[in-house]
């Protein structure tokens, strides 16, 4: 067994924890999350209730219960079960020999615990999985044994008193039962959608309370008469079927036995892993941590429908189960290289939310598509105007993330272009992509300002990725990203005809776009080789290293940013910004410039966003700054495992899995250390950390999955499929057939 820290260990592909402490319940519930992109069941135990942060979060259940936060709902928990001994829950008894596990390859979690009673010990073995085969199903099997005689009452059923972050979503909760199991239906408080849950379990003495329906079974346990049961929950909503209650009833009638469901899920997981199964040889901990992050990225991603990846996935309701730019910039690369269908599905989600983006643009006096900073099902802006508070005065802070972080639209456009170029999906471009690009360009054209005395267009009053500096002009990341999308859109207009010609730009629009393309201000590198993050950034107070600024805090919970936080009038950054630009556009600046800027900005960065470490790791690895890259990669790999990031900021709960970081960890290995890129063909410029011997990397190229084994000196093709792959290694073109190996010279 290998130790990770925080009482976590691992053995091969299994995460293990041998200490139970209620204090860690929020984090453990996320670490041991089960899921399948449709739902996430927090890693809590069968007897867990609201106070233990028990929650099953289902995608496509957005609801606004408190008048402020529209978030995904937690649904009724059909896997509730408790063993009562003299009327007291097992939670209230001493536990020994505790062990819980999560097998990342099968998604199965277990708990093994012994409950100490006065003169007898009861051992409980619990196993759970969210089916990767049938997304509506979660199964649980429990077996209990005792070393002496004991009478127990098994209380099992559906508990609707579940953890919910912002208000009670489940209204009009009703319950029912028949020979097969127990049923519950609820209406979402503002959205009015119906959620239905059914659970297959023993149906004995039924007890109904306002927020639960349970069945009671009396068990006489002896050393030679162990007891076991299975409980299977199914869930759906009115987004999927007209009559959810009828649907779950039918589902119970046709349900396969537990073992068959489990076998089917294991098989589906096995297939799921094939394209994502990157292996790191030389450091078992890194190898495991990468797998852990990939597991969480996978279970956070809806694949059944075009729906967004939430910034905390389906691990908690924080960040509203909604997409940020994280989706296109951090989660997308893994899918672009391993399973392009999923990348396409995510882009289709952005296509289906175009109307929301159009509405937002209109509302603020612009044209085209201004994508929501926080985007749920319809693409309307979910980001409230006020969400942090000034903890010193207690007054709310107006953040302008929704209004000024306009780079979101260009990031969506950038992802469309990346996908189409890499997978030559011309049909996607004609049917969907071009329309998005045109609408994004329209937005840009209505958003730029022409400054006559400078004879150029500028993008003023924005917020770049570094959220601690709001209301800035000409953010380098934003301007370059916008320019790239506009330039490529103009080119795409020459190459493709959209399915719907009505959306094509008018002649006068086209003329304006060409003028913006020619005259959009793109900040240049100064004599010191530095690219200014935004106008006037270099005039701000420089504090190095950045964390020294925290000495100025009056209250540890203070918000650091706009309008008056401790970083606002300094060069201290929340997260990568100029370095962020290099991460998406390495082609724009030569390596020397990127290195100079990396060394300038990194010490000024607080890395208070979980997005920051992977960006630095990626850019540093590409630049051959291997130790630096590895240092950031280590941070990224352990953000969730070691719970390093704050769960509350400016009074708002932001805990849960850091889904963007989970997906981007994969991308750092592929695009950073293995140096993979797509530039009219596959490129590889590896820079492996010293601690690693090799990376085994599956990549989806030219319509099929190929695998490469990359060491410090060689790149070998290890898949068995036929046909050569063209690949540029350190600038030299090669073709690699299955089994062939190329020796390269390390450039760092």
Residue 314 or 626: the one with the smaller Cβ distance to ligand BGC is 314
Considering beta carbons, is residue 230 or 577 the nearer one to ligand BGC?
577
Sheet of strand 725-729, all strands in order from the earlier edge strand to the far edge: 676-678, 682-684, 725-729, 732-736
Short-list 724, 651, 669, CA closest to 318: 651
535-559 exposure pattern, b = at least 16 Cβ within 10 A, e = fewer: bebeebeebeebeebbeeeeeeebb
> Cβ distance 300 to 309 under 8 Å?
yes
> What's the closest the beta carbon of residue 402 comes to ligand BGC, in angstroms?
12
Kindly give, in sequence order, each residue whose CB lies less than 8 Å from that of residue 463, ignoring residues fewer than 6 positions away. Answer: 400, 401, 404, 405, 469, 470, 471, 472, 475
CB of 324 or CB of 366, closer to ligand BGC: 324
- Whose Cβ is closer to ligand BGC: residue 275's or residue 650's? 650
> Encoding tokens for residue 186?
């609820």
* Smallest gap from residue 558 Cβ to ligand BGC (A): 16
Alpha carbon distance 382, 299 (integer Å): 23
User: Is residue 740 flagged as an active site residue?
Assistant: no
DSSP 719: -
Our CB check for ligand BGC shows the closer of 294 and 320 to be 320
Closer Cβ to ligand BGC, 377 or 407, answer by number: 407
Rounded to a whole number of angstroms, the minimum distance from the CB of residue 408 to ligand BGC is 9
Closest Cα to residue 721, out of 736, 734, 733, 738?
Answer: 738
Beta carbons of 546 and 572 less than 8 angstroms apart: yes
Name the minimum Å distance from CB 660 to ligand BGC: 5
Dmax over Cα atoms in the chain, in whole Å? 91
**Shorter beta-carbon distance to ligand BGC: residue 156 or 661:** 661
Contact 546, 603 (CB under 8 A): yes
Distance, in Å, from the CA atom of 651 to the CA atom of 648, rounded to the nearest integer, reads 6
Measured between alpha carbons, how far is 485 from 511 in angstroms, rounded to an integer? 16
| Smallest distance from ligand BGC to CB 324, Å | 4
Q: Cβ 534 to ligand BGC, closest distance in Å?
A: 16
Give CA–CA dist 748/742, Å, rounded. 18
CB 437 within 8 A of CB 416: yes
The answer to whether the CB of 691 falls within 8 A of the CB of 289 is no
Q: Give me the least distance between CB of 638 and ligand BGC, in Å please.
A: 17
Outline where DSSP puts E strands in 160-204: 170-177, 181-188, 194-200
| Alpha carbon distance 622, 355 (integer Å) | 38
Which one, of 729, 618, 740, 739, lies nearest residue 682 by Cα? Answer: 729
The alpha carbon of residue 388 and the mean position of all alpha carbons in its chain are separated, in whole angstroms, by: 22
CB of 383 to ligand BGC, least distance (A): 10
Q: Which is nearer to ligand BGC, 238 or 320 (CB)?
A: 320
- Least spacing, CB of residue 378 vs ligand BGC, in Å: 19
Q: Which two tokens stand for residue 391?
A: 């903890």
Which CB, 175 or 324, lies closer to ligand BGC? 324
Catalytically annotated residue among 467, 532, 602, 628:
467
Residue 284 neighbours by CB under 8 Å, 6+ apart: 2
Gap between the Cα atoms of 348 and 615, Å rounded: 25
How many degrees, rounded to 5, is the angle at CA 330 between CA 191 and CA 339? 90
Interface residues toward ligand BGC, by CB under 6 A: 311, 319, 324-326, 465, 467, 574-575, 609, 611, 660
Q: Which is nearer to ligand BGC, 467 or 488 (CB)?
A: 467
Smallest gap from residue 603 Cβ to ligand BGC (A): 19
| Listed residue (284, 258, 262, 312) closest to 14, CA to CA | 284
List the catalytic residues.
Answer: 467
């Amino acid at each position: 067994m290998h130790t990770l820290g925080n009482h976590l260990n691992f053995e091969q592909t299994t995460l293990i924890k041998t200490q139970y402490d209620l204090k860690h319940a929020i984090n453990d519930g996320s670490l041991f999350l089960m899921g399948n992109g449709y739902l996430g069941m927090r890693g809590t135990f069968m007897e867990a209730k609201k106070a233990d942060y028990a929650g099953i979060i289902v995608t496509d259940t957005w609801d606004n219960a408190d008048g402020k936060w529209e978030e995904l709902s937690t649904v009724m928990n059909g896997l509730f079960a408790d063993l009562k001994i003299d009327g007291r829950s097992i939670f209230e008894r001493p536990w020994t020999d505790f062990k819980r596990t999560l097998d990342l390859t099968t998604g199965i979690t277990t708990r093994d615990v012994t409950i100490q009673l006065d003169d007898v010990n009861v051992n409980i073995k619990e196993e759970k999985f969210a089916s990767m085969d049938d997304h509506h199903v979660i199964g649980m099997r429990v077996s209990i044994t005792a070393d002496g005689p004991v009478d127990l009452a098994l209380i099992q059923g559906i508990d609707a008193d579940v953890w919910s972050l912002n208000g009670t979503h489940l209204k009009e909760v009703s319950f029912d039962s028949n020979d097969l199991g127990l049923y519950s239906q609820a209406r979402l408080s503002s959205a009015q959608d119906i959620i239905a849950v059914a659970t297959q379990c023993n149906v004995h003495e039924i007890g109904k309370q306002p927020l639960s329906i349970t069945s009671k079974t009396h068990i006489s346990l002896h050393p030679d008469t162990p007891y076991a049961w299975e409980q299977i929950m199914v869930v759906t909503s009115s987004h999927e079927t007209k009559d959810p209650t009828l649907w779950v009833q039918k589902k119970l009638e046709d349900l396969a036995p537990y073992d068959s469901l489990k076998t089917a899920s294991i098989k589906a997981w096995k297939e799921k892993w094939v394209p994502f199964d990157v292996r790191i040889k030389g450091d078992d901990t890194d190898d495991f941590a990468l797998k852990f992050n990939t597991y969480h990225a996978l279970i956070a991603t809806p694949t059944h429908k075009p729906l967004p990846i939430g910034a905390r996935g389906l691990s908690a309701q924080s960040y509203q189960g909604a997409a940020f730019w994280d989706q296109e910039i951090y989660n997308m690369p893994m899918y672009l290289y391993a399973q392009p269908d999923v990348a396409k599905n995510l882009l289709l989600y952005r296509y289906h939310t175009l109307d929301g983006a159009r509405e937002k643009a209109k509302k603020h006096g612009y044209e085209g598509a201004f994508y929501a900073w926080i985007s749920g099902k319809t693409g309307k802006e979910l980001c409230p105007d006020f969400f942090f508070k000034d903890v010193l005065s207690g007054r709310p802070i107006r953040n302008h993330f929704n209004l000024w972080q306009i780079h979101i639209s260009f990031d969506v456009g950038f992802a469309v272009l990346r996908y189409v170029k890499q997978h030559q999906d011309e049909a996607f471009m004609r049917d969907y992509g071009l329309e998005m690009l045109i609408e994004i360009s329209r937005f840009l054209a209505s958003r730029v300002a022409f400054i006559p005395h400078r004879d150029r267009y500028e993008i003023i009053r924005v917020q770049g990725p570094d959220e601690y500096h709001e209301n800035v002009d000409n953010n380098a990341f934003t301007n370059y990203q916008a320019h790239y999308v506009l330039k490529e859109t103009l080119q795409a207009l020459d190459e493709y005809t959209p399915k719907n010609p009505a959306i094509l730009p008018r002649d006068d629009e086209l003329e304006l776009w060409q003028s913006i393309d020619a005259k959009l201000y793109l900040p240049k590198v100064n004599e010191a080789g530095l690219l200014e993050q935004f106008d006037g950034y270099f005039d701000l107070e420089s504090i190095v290293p950045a964390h020294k600024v925290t000495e100025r805090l009056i209250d540890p919970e203070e918000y650091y940013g706009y309008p008056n936080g401790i970083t606002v009038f300094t060069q201290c950054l929340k997260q990568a910004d100029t370095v962020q630009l290099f991460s998406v556009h390495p082609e724009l600046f030569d390596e020397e410039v990127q290195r100079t800027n990396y060394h300038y900005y990194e010490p000024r960065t607080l890395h208070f966003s979980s997005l920051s470490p992977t960006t630095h790791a990626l850019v540093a690895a590409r630049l051959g700054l291997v130790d630096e890259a590895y240092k950031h990669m280590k941070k990224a790999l352990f953000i969730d495992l070691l719970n390093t990031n704050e769960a509350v900021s400016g009074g708002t709960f932001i805990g849960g899995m850091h889904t963007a970081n989970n997906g981007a960890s994969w991308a750092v290995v592929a695009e950073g250390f293995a140096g993979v890129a797509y530039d009219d063909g596959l490129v590889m410029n590896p820079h492996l950390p010293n601690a690693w011997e090799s990376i085994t990397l599956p990549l989806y190229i030219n319509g099929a999955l190929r695998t490469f084994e990359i060491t410090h000196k060689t790149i070998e093709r290890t898949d068995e499929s036929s046909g050569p792959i063209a690949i540029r290694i350190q600038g030299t073109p090669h073709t690699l057939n299955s089994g062939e190996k190329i020796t390269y010279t390390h450039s760092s």
